[in-house]
Chains A and B, each alone.
Chain A
């Protein structure tokens, strides 16, 4: 595909049941009522010149270039602000309009540098296009009058620049920031001729401002005033390929705009159904890690982790690895081997890793990072609804009246969805936030939560039960929904349980620390405020009662009738790009793809006959149990694709002990991550830009990932798995990811109708795609729950065993921040470090003062498990008694302090509650120093390659 701009219809699409038909330049067009004349013209291929209009933001009517003539109307109305009406007769090109438009352009150009040939927007500039469209040949005013030329550009943002002399003050950037992103960081400062775009800070630069670097302003800018630095460096793209972002579970689709194999920029794809043309700083800009100097592209092996790495050929690496695996299996049995699939990799790659473990290694010891994030969602929603997937698509939020956000921080962790949510909130939807921290959503420009319930970490179940108490005892239950859609006996048991006085907000206030009146008011609002939607994240799941909390959320949604239509539902916000897909693909130790238990003989027979192997009928080990078994000597070898368990999993010392005890640790990754410090084989991985395949986002939306450049390491990740499988004697011969997808569809009923060709044609499909849902299923439980009736579950509050006390009086909770992503392997290797160069510990001013600590001080953070040091940020965003940090930086190793307590049902770690003490510190802890030494030793590479050179 050659390079073409994305179509721009000038004004946003309008939803209306009624249509109008009008005539534009003699051609009839029928559009939804309320559509602008500009958009109507664009829909039949017309191109009315415009500068201040773009279809991502509302019409503004400022540039006066899009004037048209309408029969029966006086003057020349702006087509962007004039709605099309029935029978309207419009002319977009007349001598009068030509003259008017040309005059307008003359004024613009009289104050614009005429350096088109050297401008980074040359041939990709709407001002240039408009000048051509109106036939501008001369500027009668000359260029000597007052002007804005020669102003210094703002280069503060690492990814884009602002050149004020190229700015035409159309305010598209300001409106994109307001309407699309919802940050309201930009403004037009001054009046008349002095008007200028401002980031509104004392320094008046983008980096010091509220700007979150989402790129919406850059995308909206019609000139080179706001421009990606990468375009300035490389030039205009020559082709574009639509692909899917590899960061969070929102699953934004982008156009990778290329020059040869050089990625010039990633631009959000307007037709993407998850992101609708929007992006965040990570997907839009943070892709430079692909070429970072730390990237390893040659396979490496070593017999012991005390030795330096030895670069070898792929052939030697694979043969060495297969040899070790076979030896270990011969000596210790198949159950001594296992693997971890990656939620960062494609469905196809994940499917193959679990196929290799089950069919090649011969055990079911396969797990994935959903273990440490949303496994309780699986358990909880399956128990209550019969299916655990999120019930809605992202578009649903446009119909919500009350949004309840619990244990999620969407503006940081799911920013593109957060922008869509904020848009709905600005339209008037009400917001309830249940979170120990005052997250940005609680109060930000034009957004204010009606209720923020700052609960004590670890008391989610108590808070939700108290809300249910209010709903039941105050007669706010949707009795018709419950009677028609739910198991009534179970409801009655539950209602009796929650109605007990011991579950009243007043009685639970000492436990939850949430003021009872606030909680009552929030419960009433949720039950009576119209369409109520619940969005939750890892603040729900990463607790000892994660699964119970998910069930309590489902109970609340059913009791209030908030299931089965747009605007409502239970919506888990997934952490990683393909965490849904990794689970769908059979990455859990107890089940095959499509959520079929490994003990089911019929299911096993299906796979056994297709794969030509015999499968173990017993469930395998979960990640944490693999580590225990390794310490005990019964688990000896692991193949880890695209996951850094040493940094991401809790109780780092235990993870290290488990890895150290194994005979063969195989890390398949882009970088020598922390886990690789304990590895014997390093197989270099490929980035999402270097492979074909599919990701499945939080909406169950399967989207294509497309290869835009050759893998720097020589192979797509599934090819590496295939090499290993074949060295183990499996005889696979996949030639392309689409062949693996065909196998997935053949063996997985929910994927039955999915093909690579169909995905490429339709853009995305939401599973299940089968006989009952040939085109997929955007919203679930519309007429009934997947398996009959909704099931209320009594969720008894069981306090965590992680207790504060005199030695560890504070509660630590952890999370992530907008600019960094999880263990930071990618984002730390980009300019995103400009925003978050280190992990900080947030602490309330009272707690800081009691300890004599000041903002920026180095502190020692200690728990019963371990200790680390980092700097503190004193802020009232956290409540007294609670501290918070991120886990993006290996220097901090926040998980050295987290415990091995976990969810009772799924063993999802209790990251969100650790009893800690914080005190002044003079420097790194012994663990940090020892670990830094180990990491340095372990990363040594001997460059005296033996055998044939690496490919």
Chain B
């Protein structure tokens, strides 16, 4: 539908990145950008990551910075406990749905 921001996959991916960034807004700008980059690195499929250059006009500042981090520095270390996963031999934790 043309009156939603999600027409086309690119628009949707930009929306998703902005939404992630917006929900890290309680952090300062750099921390929010790093957390957004971490989140995208851990949960997005390669074609989704590749689809966004970071230069898109619709990207929020924090989201744009997140892609810059991914492109320039690679995947950041875990920024929240949501992106700390079990080790190969670790039991007892779950992120069940």
A positions within 8 Å CB-CB of B:
335, 364-365, 368, 370-371, 373-375, 377-379, 381-384, 386-389, 497, 544-545, 547-548, 579-580, 582-584, 588-591, 594-597, 599-600, 602-603, 605-606, 618-622, 625, 628-629, 631-632, 634, 700, 748-750, 752, 768, 770, 772-773, 777, 786-787, 791, 794-796, 798, 801, 864-865, 899-900, 904-907
Which residues does chain B contribute within 8 Å of A584, judged by CB atoms?
Answer: 94, 96
For B44, give the chain A residue with the smallest CB separation: A619
Of residues 71 to 89 in B, which have CB atoms within 8 Å of A's CB atoms? Answer: 80-82, 84-89
Q: Known interface pairs A619-B45, A625-B45, A864-B3. Does A600 touch B96 (Cβ–Cβ under 8 Å)? A: no
Residue among B6, B25, B95 with max Cβ neighbours from chain A (10 Å): B95
Other than the given A768-B92, A864-B4, A899-B4, 18 more pairs (CB < 8 A) read: A378-B94, A378-B95, A379-B82, A379-B95, A383-B81, A497-B26, A545-B23, A579-B97, A584-B96, A588-B97, A595-B86, A602-B88, A622-B43, A629-B47, A634-B47, A749-B90, A798-B22, A798-B25
Ordered nearest first, which 3 A-B pairs have the shortest CB separation?
Answer: A370-B97, A749-B91, A378-B95
Asked if B93 lies at the interface with its beta carbon under 8 angstroms from chain A, I say: yes
Shortest CB–CB separation between residue B94 and chain A, in angstroms? 4
Asked if B19 lies at the interface with its beta carbon under 8 angstroms from chain A, I say: yes
> Is the Cβ of A770 less than 8 Å from the Cβ of B3?
no
> Is the Cβ of B47 less than 8 Å from the Cβ of A580?
no
Asked if B42 lies at the interface with its beta carbon under 8 angstroms from chain A, I say: yes
CA A371 to CA B94, docked complex, whole Å: 15
Of residues 21 to 64 in B, which have CB atoms within 8 Å of A's CB atoms? Answer: 22-23, 25-26, 39, 42-48
Q: Known interface pairs A600-B88, A796-B25, A864-B1. Does A387 touch B46 (Cβ–Cβ under 8 Å)? A: no
What are 14 sample pairs from A and B whose C-beta atoms fall under 8 A apart?
A: A335-B46, A374-B97, A378-B96, A382-B81, A384-B81, A579-B97, A583-B96, A583-B97, A584-B96, A600-B87, A606-B88, A768-B91, A864-B1, A904-B19
> Is the Cβ of B97 less than 8 Å from the Cβ of A373?
yes
Which residues does chain A contribute within 8 Å of B19, judged by CB atoms?
Answer: 544, 904
CA A364 to CA B47, docked complex, whole Å: 13
> Is the Cβ of B91 less than 8 Å from the Cβ of A750?
yes
CA A772 to CA B93, docked complex, whole Å: 13
> Is the Cβ of B26 less than 8 Å from the Cβ of A382?
no
CA A579 to CA B19, docked complex, whole Å: 26
CA A620 to CA B43, docked complex, whole Å: 8
> Is the Cβ of A383 less than 8 Å from the Cβ of B3?
no
For A696, give the chain B residue with the smallest CB separation: B96
> Is the Cβ of A597 less than 8 Å from the Cβ of B22?
no
Asked if B68 lies at the interface with its beta carbon under 8 angstroms from chain A, I say: no
Which residues does chain B contribute within 8 Å of A621, judged by CB atoms?
Answer: 45, 48
Of residues 1 to 23 in B, which have CB atoms within 8 Å of A's CB atoms? Answer: 1, 3-6, 9, 12, 16, 19-20, 22-23
Which residues does chain A contribute within 8 Å of B82, judged by CB atoms?
Answer: 379, 382-383, 905
CA A772 to CA B90, docked complex, whole Å: 11
Which residues does chain B contribute within 8 Å of A381, judged by CB atoms?
Answer: 95
Shortest CB–CB separation between residue B57 and chain A, in angstroms? 18
> Is the Cβ of A595 less than 8 Å from the Cβ of B1?
no
Which residues does chain B contribute within 8 Å of A382, judged by CB atoms?
Answer: 81-82, 93-95
Shortest CB–CB separation between residue B68 and chain A, in angstroms? 20
Shortest CB–CB separation between residue B50 and chain A, in angstroms? 11
> Is the Cβ of B89 less than 8 Å from the Cβ of A749?
yes
Which residues does chain B contribute within 8 Å of A752, judged by CB atoms?
Answer: 91
Which residues does chain B contribute within 8 Å of A386, judged by CB atoms?
Answer: 81, 93
For A368, give the chain B residue with the smallest CB separation: B97
For A380, give the chain B residue with the smallest CB separation: B82
Shortest CB–CB separation between residue A282 and chain B, in angstroms? 22
CA A749 to CA B95, docked complex, whole Å: 15
Shortest CB–CB separation between residue A862 and chain B, in angstroms? 12
Residue of B20, B26, B92 near A796 (CB, 8 A) is: B26
> Is the Cβ of B94 less than 8 Å from the Cβ of A583?
yes
Which residues does chain B contribute within 8 Å of A773, judged by CB atoms?
Answer: 92
> Is the Cβ of A796 less than 8 Å from the Cβ of B23?
yes
> Is the Cβ of B95 less than 8 Å from the Cβ of A595?
yes
Which residues does chain B contribute within 8 Å of A618, judged by CB atoms?
Answer: 45-46
> Is the Cβ of B94 less than 8 Å from the Cβ of A388?
yes
Which residues does chain A contribute within 8 Å of B45, judged by CB atoms?
Answer: 335, 364-365, 589, 618-621, 625, 629
Shortest CB–CB separation between residue A608 and chain B, in angstroms? 12
Which residues does chain B contribute within 8 Å of A383, judged by CB atoms?
Answer: 80-82
Shortest CB–CB separation between residue B60 and chain A, in angstroms? 12
Q: Known interface pairs A629-B9, A904-B23. Does A335 touch B47 (Cβ–Cβ under 8 Å)? A: yes
CA A632 to CA B50, docked complex, whole Å: 14
CA A583 to CA B12, docked complex, whole Å: 26
> Is the Cβ of A389 less than 8 Å from the Cβ of B94?
yes
Which residues does chain B contribute within 8 Å of A629, judged by CB atoms?
Answer: 9, 45, 47
> Is the Cβ of A597 less than 8 Å from the Cβ of B23?
no
CA A365 to CA B48, docked complex, whole Å: 13
> Is the Cβ of A583 less than 8 Å from the Cβ of B87?
no
> Is the Cβ of B85 less than 8 Å from the Cβ of A787?
no
Shortest CB–CB separation between residue B27 and chain A, in angstroms? 8
Residue among B44, B46, B82 with max Cβ neighbours from chain A (10 Å): B82
> Is the Cβ of A632 less than 8 Å from the Cβ of B9?
yes
Residue of A580, A582, A600, A631 near B85 (CB, 8 A) is: A600
Residue of B4, B43, B92, B97 near A387 (CB, 8 A) is: B92
CA A379 to CA B20, docked complex, whole Å: 13
Shortest CB–CB separation between residue B14 and chain A, in angstroms? 12
For B45, give the chain A residue with the smallest CB separation: A621
> Is the Cβ of B43 less than 8 Å from the Cβ of A590?
yes
Which residues does chain A contribute within 8 Å of B20, judged by CB atoms?
Answer: 904-905
Which residues does chain A contribute within 8 Å of B39, judged by CB atoms?
Answer: 905
Q: Known interface pairs A383-B81, A602-B88, A796-B23. Does A900 touch B96 (Cβ–Cβ under 8 Å)? A: no
> Is the Cβ of B42 less than 8 Å from the Cβ of A597?
yes
Shortest CB–CB separation between residue A141 and chain B, in angstroms? 63
Which residues does chain B contribute within 8 Å of A750, judged by CB atoms?
Answer: 91-94
For A769, give the chain B residue with the smallest CB separation: B91
Which residues does chain A contribute within 8 Å of B89, judged by CB atoms?
Answer: 749
Shortest CB–CB separation between residue B65 and chain A, in angstroms? 17
CA A606 to CA B90, docked complex, whole Å: 13
> Is the Cβ of B91 less than 8 Å from the Cβ of A770?
yes
Shortest CB–CB separation between residue B46 and chain A, in angstroms? 5
CA A64 to CA B12, docked complex, whole Å: 72
> Is the Cβ of A595 less than 8 Å from the Cβ of B85?
yes
Shortest CB–CB separation between residue B84 and chain A, in angstroms? 8
CA A631 to CA B10, docked complex, whole Å: 12
Q: Known interface pairs A335-B46, A597-B85. Does A377 touch B26 (Cβ–Cβ under 8 Å)? A: no
Shortest CB–CB separation between residue A753 and chain B, in angstroms? 10
CA A335 to CA B91, docked complex, whole Å: 30
Which residues does chain A contribute within 8 Å of B91, judged by CB atoms?
Answer: 594, 748-750, 752, 768, 770, 772
> Is the Cβ of A631 less than 8 Å from the Cβ of B80?
no
CA A373 to CA B19, docked complex, whole Å: 19
CA A618 to CA B86, docked complex, whole Å: 17
Which residues does chain A contribute within 8 Å of B90, judged by CB atoms?
Answer: 594, 596, 749
> Is the Cβ of B92 less than 8 Å from the Cβ of A791?
no
Which residues does chain B contribute within 8 Å of A794, judged by CB atoms?
Answer: 26
> Is the Cβ of A907 less than 8 Å from the Cβ of B4?
no
CA A381 to CA B84, docked complex, whole Å: 13
For A551, give the chain B residue with the smallest CB separation: B82
CA A890 to CA B46, docked complex, whole Å: 35
Which residues does chain A contribute within 8 Å of B22, judged by CB atoms?
Answer: 798, 904
Q: Known interface pairs A335-B46, A596-B87. Does A900 touch B95 (Cβ–Cβ under 8 Å)? A: no
Residue of A365, A634, A791, A864 near B81 (CB, 8 A) is: A791
> Is the Cβ of A770 less than 8 Å from the Cβ of B94?
no
CA A285 to CA B23, docked complex, whole Å: 45
CA A787 to CA B16, docked complex, whole Å: 29
> Is the Cβ of A602 less than 8 Å from the Cβ of B96?
no
Residue of A547, A748, A777, A865 near B1 (CB, 8 A) is: A865
CA A906 to CA B83, docked complex, whole Å: 12
CA A629 to CA B88, docked complex, whole Å: 31
Which residues does chain A contribute within 8 Å of B93, judged by CB atoms?
Answer: 382, 386-388, 595, 750, 786-787
> Is the Cβ of A770 less than 8 Å from the Cβ of B97?
no
Shortest CB–CB separation between residue B40 and chain A, in angstroms? 10
